[in-house]
Structure 1
Amino acid sequence: MLFDTHVHLNVSQFDEDREEVIARAKEAGVEYMVIVGFDHETIPKAIELAEAYDYIYAAVGWHPVDAIDMTDKELNWLKELASHPKVVALGEMGLDYHWDKSPKDVQKEVFRKQINLAKKVNLPIIIHNREATEDIISILKEENAREVGGIMHCYNDSVDYVNDCLEMNFYISLGGPVTFKNATFPKEVAKVVPEDRLLIETDCPFLAPHPNRGKRNEPAYVKLVAEKIAELRNVHYNELSEKTTENAKRLFGIN
C-alpha cells in the first residue's frame, strides 16, 4: 500500500494517457494520491479528478512563482474550495527564489496570506521551497504555522533544518531525488526523519526517480522512492510503505 502525497496529474503532460497512468499507479500498489492544483488551470482539474476517483484527493493553493498574479479574488476562491469534501490541504505555497517572475516581497505576502487562510479553514499546508529555506522557516514561525502543520514537499535541504520543520508540526516528504546517485541531502535526511513524520511522493511529471530520471514521472514510480528509502533506513519495504501511508492518512484526515 502506497500513498503518493504530491502529484500533478492535472497538467498537460498527462492529457494523452491520464487514465492509463492512474491504472498503472493502482497496479503498482498506489492506494491513495493527492493531486496538487496551483493556478487557474490546474486547481479545477485537481478537483475534477478528485471527484472522479474515490482514492484521489486534492490540494489547492497558489504557487510562489505566480504570486504576482494572486489577488483577493483568488484567495477567496481558495477559501471556498477549502470546504470541498475532497480537498485535504492548501498548497502548494511557499517561496521560489530560482525564478524571478514574482518579486520576493510579493511572494512573502502571498505566502503569509495562504498560511493565515489555512489556519482559518483548519487545513494543513504543502510547502514549495526553492533556494529560500531560511525565509520559509522564518515566515512559518512568525505566522505560527504549527497550528495546522503540513508537508515540506520534496525536501532537498540539509539535515540541519529537519528539526525546525518537525518542531513546527511538519512532515518531511521525499521524492525522486532520494534515488539520484549524487543527491547527498535527501539520502541523509531519509535516514534521520522519525518514522511517524516521513512521507513519500513523486511530484510527477517532474523529478522521475532512477532508473527513469529525465523521463516523465508518474505515480507508479513512487514505489521506487519507497524502495530506496527502505534500503537507506534498513527496514522492510512493506513496513516503510505502510508507515508512510498511515502518516499521510493521519495528516490529511483520511479514514
Structure 2
Amino acid sequence: MTSVQITDSHCHLDFPDFDEERDAVIARAIAAGVTRMVTICTKLPALPKVQAISEAHQQVFHTFGVHPMSVADHEPVTVDQLVELSKHPKFVGIGETGLDYHYTSESAEAQKTSLRLHCAAAAEAGLPLIIHARAADEDMARILAEEHANAPFACVMHCFSSGADLARAALDLGFYLSMSGIAAFPKSQELRDIFADAPLDRVLVETDSPYLAPPPYRGKRNEPGYTVHTAKVGAEVFGLSYEDFAAATQANFDRLFTKAAQWAEAA
C-alpha cells in the first residue's frame, strides 16, 4: 500500500455495478492509498444495503439524502427522520440533495422543498450537507444562502461542475468544492480554472463512482481507487506535489466530515 493517503469523499458502493466484486474494489482502493470512502445513499429503500456496507468495512462511511432526480418518485423524508438516521455511528453527512433542472426540471418545486428540508436537517444534526447541482445555479445559490442564514450548516458542492458564480457563492458561505473525474477531462480547462481560484483549504476529491472515471479509465466503470488519478490532476492545478495536495485534501475532509475524522482517531 502506498504511504500517501487520500479520501474518496463521494462514491456509490451499493450500486449493482459493484455487486460482483465489492470487497475487491474496496481492497484495491486501500492498496492505492484511498484509506476512507464515503458511500452515498440516494433513496431510502437502499439505506439498509448502504449501512451494511459501511458497517462491514472499517474504511467506509455513509450518508443519506433523497437525490433531486428521485424526489418526484419517493415519499418525502422529514427533518426528524434525517436527524434520527444520522445517529448511526458511521453516518457522516446529509445528502446528496440539491437541484437538477437538466434531467428533472418538471419537479423543480418539489426539489426546492426537499433541498430546504435537508438544509434544516444538516443544521440540526451538525453534519455536512452534500449538494448535487446541475443547470440550477441561480436557485441553488439563493436557497443555500437563505437556509444558511436561517440556520448555519457546513456543506460540500459534490462533483462540482457548475459555473464560477455558484463556486464563489458557495465559497463565500464557507462551503467546499469537490473535484471529480470531470476536472481531469481534457476539455475541462474552464472547470480547472475555477478550482485554481478556490482556496486550497476548501477542496475535496471524489470519484462519484461508478460514474465519471478520470483518464486513463474514462468511459469505463469508475471505482474509489481512481481518486488518485483525479487528485494528481488537482495537484497540477494547484502547482503542488501529489503528496502535498493529498495531505491538504485529507485535512479538508477531516475539518468538514468531523464525525468520520473522530471515528478514524478512535479506531
- TM-score bucket (shorter structure): over 0.9
SS at match of 2:44: coil
C-alpha contact 2:182 2:188 (8 A) present in aligned 1:
yes
Is residue 2:230 matched to residue 1:225? Answer: yes
| Structure 2 unpaired stretches of 5+ | 263-267
SS at match of 1:144: helix
C-alpha contact 2:131 2:158 (8 A) present in aligned 1:
yes
Shift of residue 33, structure 1, vs aligned partner: 1.1
2:170 to 156, 165, 168: 165
C-alpha contact 2:39 2:61 (8 A) present in aligned 1:
yes
1:27 to 28, 31, 36: 31
1:213 to 212, 218, 225: 218
1:14 to 11, 14, 18: 18
SS at match of 1:147: coil
Give the stretch that moved more between structures: 84-93 or 70-79.
Answer: 70-79
Q: What do the CA deviations read for 1:140-180 (whole angstroms, capped 9, x no partner)?
A: 01112671121000111233332211121210101101111
C-alpha contact 2:100 2:134 (8 A) present in aligned 1:
yes
1:117 to 117, 121, 131: 121
TM-score for both structures, normalised by structure 2: 0.91
Aligned to 2:265: none
- Name the amino acid aligned to 2:231: A
2:54 to 50, 71, 74: 50
Query: C-alpha distance in 2, partners of 1:210/1:36?
Result: 23
Query: C-alpha distance in 2, partners of 1:236/1:25?
Result: 20
Aligned to 2:198: 193
Q: What do the CA deviations read for 1:182-239 (whole angstroms, capped 9, x no partner)?
A: 1133211231211110100000000000111110000010000010111121111000
Shift of residue 60, structure 1, vs aligned partner: 0.8
C-alpha contact 2:79 2:120 (8 A) present in aligned 1:
no
Q: What do the CA deviations read for 1:27-84 (whole angstroms, capped 9, x no partner)?
A: 1000111110010343222211111112211111110011123435565432321111
Is residue 2:180 matched to residue 1:175? Answer: yes
C-alpha contact 1:65 1:102 (8 A) present in aligned 2:
no
Give the stretch that moved more between structures: 117-126 or 90-99.
Answer: 117-126
| Structure 1 unpaired stretches of 5+ | none
- Name the amino acid aligned to 2:233: K
2:65 to 50, 61, 64: 61
TM-score for both structures, normalised by structure 1: 0.95
- Kindly report structure 1 stretches of 4+ aligned residues shifted beyond 3 Å: 69-77
C-alpha contact 1:68 1:102 (8 A) present in aligned 2:
no
- Name the amino acid aligned to 1:94: G
2:97 to 93, 109, 115: 93
SS at match of 1:57: strand
Query: C-alpha distance in 2, partners of 1:79/1:142?
Result: 21
Aligned to 2:160: 155
Cα gap change, 1:75/1:67 in structure 2, threshold over 3 Å: closer, same or farther? farther
Residue identity (%): 38
Query: C-alpha distance in 2, partners of 1:97/1:73?
Result: 21
Is residue 2:251 matched to residue 1:246? Answer: yes
What is the count of residue pairs matched by the alignment? 255
Q: CA RMSD in A?
A: 1.6
SS at match of 2:8: strand
- Name the amino acid aligned to 1:242: A
